[in-house]
Amino acid sequence: MNFDNINVPQKLVPDNYWQLGLAAQRPKQRGFKELLEKRKLPANGWPDEHIEELVHQIASLDSNNFPHKVGLGEREARITCRLVSRRHYNFGHGIGRSGDLLEAQPKAAGSTLLAHLTNALILDLMQGLGLPSCRGCFLVPMCTGMTITLCLQSLRKQRPHAKYVLWSRIDQKSCFKAITAAGLEPMIVPCLVQHQALSTDINAFQQHIEDLGAETILCLYTTTSCFAPRNSDSIVDIAQLAKRCDLPHIVNNAYGLQISTISRQLERAQRLGRIDYFVQSSDKNFLVPVGGAIVASFNQTLLHLVGSSYAGRASGSQTLDVFMTLLSLGRSGYHSLVQKREDNFNYLKEQLIAFAQSHGEQVIESRENFISLAITLGTLCVATGQGSSITQLGSMLHMRGVSGVRVVIPGQKKTIDGHAFSDFGSHQTNLEIPYLTVAAALGITQEEIDKFFKIFHKCWTKFSQSLSENKTKQ
């Protein structure tokens, strides 16, 4: 509703007070107009009230919210539990249309607008984060892995006879499963190990292409964000290789959008080579609940192929989360989050190096990893004589409220969908020294880092003591 064209009687409120109130509405209304017409992320975040007002207004454009609707179809977006309708601001129709995520819905002008506007805002943000050549993107309400599967399925429609996906090994299950889920054949390209850090083996990629024949290969598949000491893949080199061999290239950029260096590398990779799709998680990059991913491309036509590969109509809940979050942050809010993360990463690194030095360990030098760090656990390993008990250290940290750290030890075997991985978790086959990883992801605070080191120190000491006690007993 609005107060325009309403002659509010003096009996309700004196005209001069009223006019002052009305005048104060104008900047807000201007903000709404600009957002819808220009489809750019506002420079500064909006107050909650404005966000909710807009969201409610948009929802009221959907047919399930029409006062006099008559629903004779099999799907009318009726919501029976009012707690549910309230938490969805009465949105019920989801996004896309049977069989295309990007199509408009005749029954749901509001949901349609919300989806397209959110995608536009994400695009605007991404272009400003170092990806000016990005031509489009959209939110898919599935995880990063499944969204990569969707991209692979789209590529397969173009290259029906190609079945191999060349994949630079990274020990994160869903990255790998994204290939098998699509019914494709993964070719695992091991990383190069140099001083314990891991990086992309370009030559191995090239060799595989020559061996298999480019026509049998669906695409190259790289990853930017990962646990140390694995580095971000050399996406510029692989992109050049892809271009040379006329092969599609998909980048798993799961949590890379929060790191400006990675965005700039993606841009450069496309300029010098070829990237067809790059996919990022919405929860990790936008701090919303798990459940969505952003597929982006430097080529709009390619994007539409992905949209039309989704067999149905999809949840709009993830879109709403990202929409509200972006409006709440504004461009400046997001950039400030990114900056803080970078500062905290540097702080974490300094502290970790200091910790390592004082405990006879070292932080593995993985220069192309901008988010995760690995510290060796060699002295503990020597002390125990057997690496496996070192996972205890991880449990100790977890019990004290520290989440997200991982202790990686040699000798873990794992088979996923018929493919065997030795030393799973370490991204390599010959792990020698166990290590522990920590990350500084978006939203981390310096307070958390400080707390972590306190707890880490305490656990380390306790763990060392228990080791020497055990020895004594023996």
Contact range with a second copy by CB under 8 A, out of 126-134, 231-239, 421-429, 445-453: 445-453
367 among annotated binding-site residues: no
Does residue 232 interact with a second copy by CB under 8 A? no
169 among annotated binding-site residues: no
87 among annotated binding-site residues: no
Instruction: Give the number of other CB atoms < 10 A from CB of residue 89.
Output: 19
264 among annotated binding-site residues: no
| CB neighbour burial string for 412-449, b if at least 16 within 10 angstroms, e if fewer | beeeeeeeebebbbbbbeebebbbbbbbbbbebeeeeb
- Relative to beta strand 164-168, strand 185-189 is parallel
For residues 150 and 130, is the Cβ–Cβ distance under 8 A?
A: no
Instruction: Specify the residue, 186 or 273, whose C-beta has the smaller distance to a second copy.
Output: 186
Instruction: Specify the residue, 290 or 382, whose C-beta has the smaller distance to a second copy.
Output: 290
**Nearest distance in Å: CB 208, a second copy:** 22
For a second copy, the binding residues in 388-407 under the rule CB under 8 A are: 398-399, 401-406
466 among annotated binding-site residues: no
For a second copy, the binding residues in 368-387 under the rule CB under 8 A are: 371-372
Does residue 117 interact with a second copy by CB under 8 A? yes
Tokens 């991985």 correspond to 421
**Nearest distance in Å: CB 99, a second copy:** 4
User: What are the E-state strand segments in 206-313?
Assistant: 217-223, 249-252, 277-281, 293-297
- Whole-number Å distance between alpha carbons of 454 and 448: 10
Contact range with a second copy by CB under 8 A, out of 19-27, 188-196, 262-270, 360-368: 19-27
How far is CA 61 from each of CA 89, 111, 137, 417, 459, rounded to the nearest angstrom?
12, 8, 24, 46, 56
For a second copy, the binding residues in 191-220 under the rule CB under 8 A are: none
Q: Which of 350, 443, 457, 471 binds a second copy (CB under 8 A)?
A: 443
In degrees rounded to 5, what are phi and psi of residue 62?
Answer: -85, 145
For a second copy, the binding residues in 66-95 under the rule CB under 8 A are: 66-84, 87-94
Instruction: Specify the residue, 160 or 195, whose C-beta has the smaller distance to a second copy.
Output: 160
Q: Which of 328, 391, 392, 446 binds a second copy (CB under 8 A)?
A: 328
For a second copy, the binding residues in 23-62 under the rule CB under 8 A are: 24-25, 27-29, 32-33, 36-37, 39, 47-54, 56-57, 60-62
Question: What pairs with residue 183 in β-bridges?
Answer: none
Instruction: Specify the residue, 79 or 202, whose C-beta has the smaller distance to a second copy.
Output: 79
As a three-state string, the secondary structure of 313-332 is: CECCHHHHHHHHHHHHHHHH
Query: HSE of 401 in the Cβ direction (CA atoms, 13 Å)?
Result: 7
One DSSP character per residue, 335-371 reads: HHHHHHHHHHHHHHHHHHHHHHHHTT--B---TT-SS
For residues 192 and 199, is the Cβ–Cβ distance under 8 A?
A: yes
Q: How many residues touch a second copy (CB under 8 A)?
A: 160
**Nearest distance in Å: CB 86, a second copy:** 8
| Residues in the annotated binding site for tRNA | 271, 400
| Annotated binding-site residue numbers | 75, 97-98, 105, 271, 313, 400
